[in-house]
Amino acid sequence: MMEGFQAMSNKTDNKEPKTRVEEFRERLNREDLERRWQLEALDHLFTEVEDHPDSFHRLWIQPLVASGLTLESALALLIEGRFLPN
């Protein structure tokens, strides 16, 4: 059992430099994951808008627009907040 752990440990200890192809694939995977999260955030916002349009507008959109944001900026901010919550 310790032999298997040792073999795994050696693999992580002997990190070889990544090739450009490996780095590119990792970058594409990260970007794909980010797009999926953004789509999930949009889906959640659309669901809230459909279920409670008046309260969503009153509680979220109006205060942001009143503070000087455009409607587009307010929506982008809400999406970003859903995507990267505190």
pLDDT digits (tens, 9 = 90+) for 6-23: 544 444 555 678 899 999
Give the confidence band of 72 by pLDDT, cuts at 50, 70, 90: very high
pLDDT on residue 41: 77
Task: List the domain range (segments joined by +) for residue 46.
Answer: 20-83
Of 69 and 33, more confident: 69
Confirm whether 12 is domain-assigned.
Answer: no
Let me know if residue 78 belongs to a domain. yes
The total number of structural domains that make up the chain: 1
Domain membership of residue 75 (yes or no) is yes
Q: Are 57 and 64 in contact (CB under 8 A)?
A: no
Residue 8 in domain: no
- Please return the burial class of 67, using the count of CB atoms within 10 Å of its CB with bins 0-12, 13-18 and 19+: exposed
Residue 78 has pLDDT above 50, yes or no: yes
Summarised one tens digit per residue, pLDDT across range 27-60 is 989 888 888 887 887 788 788 889 999 998 999 8
